[in-house]
Amino acid sequence: IDPTIDLVSEINRLKKEKNAVILAHYYQESEIQDIADYIGDSLGLSQQAAKTDADVIVFAGVHFMAETAKILSPTKKVLLPDLKAGCSLSDSCPPHLFAKFKEQYPDHLVITYVNCTAELKALSDIVCTSSNAVQIVESLPPDQKIIFGPDRNLGAYVKKKTGRDLVLWNGACMVHEIFSQDKIEALHEAYPDAKFIAHPECEDHILAKADYIGSTSGMLKFTIEDPSQTYIVATESGILHQMQKASPTKTFIPAPPNNLCACNDCPHMKLNTLEKLYNCLYYEQPEINLAEDVILRAQKPIERMLQISA
Q: For the chain, give me the number of helices (H) and strands (E)?
A: 15, 12
Kindly write out the interface string for residues 198-237 of this chain, putting x where it contacts ligand 13P by CB under 6 A and - elsewhere.
-x-x-------------xx---------------------
* Contact between residue 223 and residue 230 where contact means Cβ atoms under 8 Å apart: no
| Bridge partner list, 142 | none
Look at residue 42 and give the partner it binds from ligand 13P, ligand SF4, none, a contact being a CB closer than 5 to 8 Å depending on partner kind: ligand 13P
Q: Chain centroid to CA 102: how far?
A: 24
42 is in an annotated binding site: yes
The answer to whether residue 33 forms part of the interface with ligand 13P (CB under 6 A) is no
Cα 79 from Cα 66, distance rounded (Å)? 7
Burial classification of residue 205, based on how many CB atoms lie within 10 Å of its CB (0-12 exposed, 13-18 middle, 19 or more buried)? exposed
Q: Applying CB under 6 A, which part among 92-100, 128-136, 273-281, 283-291 lies near ligand 13P?
A: 128-136
C-alpha to C-alpha distances, 162 to 129, 144, 190, 297, nearest whole angstrom = 16, 13, 34, 28
Site for ligand 13P, residues 76 to 115, rule: CB under 6 A: 115
309 is in an annotated binding site: no
**CB nearer to ligand SF4: pick between 15 and 59:** 59
Q: Work out which of 46, 129, 153, 264 binds ligand 13P, going by CB under 6 A.
A: 129
Cα 31 from Cα 35, distance rounded (Å)? 7
**CB nearer to ligand 13P: pick between 176 and 195:** 176
**CB nearer to ligand 13P: pick between 115 and 223:** 115
| Bridge partner list, 146 | 109
Question: What's phi and psi for 101, nearest 5 deg?
Answer: -60, -45
Site for ligand 13P, residues 146 to 185, rule: CB under 6 A: 173
C-alpha to C-alpha distances, 264 to 75, 108, 169, 191, nearest whole angstrom = 36, 35, 24, 20
115 is in an annotated binding site: yes
Q: Work out which of 29, 36, 39, 41 binds ligand 13P, going by CB under 6 A.
A: 41
Q: Applying CB under 6 A, which part among 51-59, 68-76, 126-134, 284-292 lies near ligand 13P?
A: 126-134
Residues in the annotated binding site for iminosuccinate? 25, 42, 113-115, 130, 199-201, 216
| Residues at the site binding ligand 13P, with contacts judged by CB under 6 A | 26, 41-42, 115, 129-131, 173, 199, 201, 215-216
